[in-house]
Each structure stands twice: as C-alpha cells, then as structure tokens.
Amino acid sequence: MWVIGKKAYENLKKTLEAENYNVVNILNSFSALETVSEERPDLILLDTAFLDTDGFEICRQLRANPKYRWVPVMMLGEKNEAEDSIKAYKSGADDYITAPLNPLELRARVGMILRRSRV
C-alpha cells in the first residue's frame, strides 16, 4: 500500500502498519506513476493536495492508463465538502476520506477496498 504525498504520513503509517499493511510514501507525481508500473501496489492512498501536482490529476492519469487502471485509489482530503468528494469520484477514485482521519474508519475503508479489489 502506498501513501502518496500525505502530510500526515507518519500517522497513516502507524495506523495501517498496526493492521500489518506495508506502507510506503511517494513524494512526487513522476515517481508515483513510474513506481506503480514497477511495484504493483494493492492500494494507493492519494492526497488531494499532492506536493508537485493536483492529486485529482494523478488519479485521472492512473485511470486513463491501462497499466495503472486496476489499482484501487482512496483519496485523502483536507476538506469535508461535497464538491471535493464529487471531484475525487469523477477523477476515478474508489473512495474519499477527509481529515481528521478516524483510525478505525480508515482501517475499515482500506479493508473494504482491498476485499473488493480481490474479488
């Protein structure tokens, strides 16, 4: 599982590693797309406010490319506004969650996405 560009990476890592997930942080869009192709993650947690580009655009790029289309994407937002969640789903995200993150809800959503992707 990868967390791409999230400022609260350490908290996410701690929460998800407690469930025995391997968590890796990727800090720029170029290495994100390149690494997805090489490493084949089970899930990408993608920050909407990515460091060097719009997280929604990265999600669109993942969905537009047949090499990456299969990777589930959960977008992490800072605002709990319908406009951002709609934008996330329109860009191709499988789920959208906002800060502050509830660790139990995050683990439940990640587990649900991973179960669904293995079917």
Q: What is the full per-residue pLDDT of the chain (119 aa) written as tens digits?
A: 556 555 567 788 888 888 888 888 877 766 777 777 777 788 988 888 765 668 888 899 889 988 888 889 999 887 777 888 999 999 999 999 988 888 899 999 999 999 988 86
Distance from C-alpha of 58 to C-alpha of 91, rounded to nearest angstrom = 9
Supply the pLDDT for residue 55.
84
With beta carbons less than 8 A apart as the criterion, state whether 26 and 45 touch. Answer: no
Structural tokens at position 32? 């994100």
User: What is the residue type of 4?
Assistant: I
Supply the pLDDT for residue 92.
96
Nearest of 22, 119, 33 to residue 73 by alpha carbon: 33
CA distances from 110 to 51, 90, 117 (A): 23, 20, 11
Domains of the chain listed by start with CATH number: 2-117 (3.40.50.2300)
Q: Which positions ≥6 away from 38 have C-beta within 8 Å? A: none
Structural tokens at position 12? 């996410």
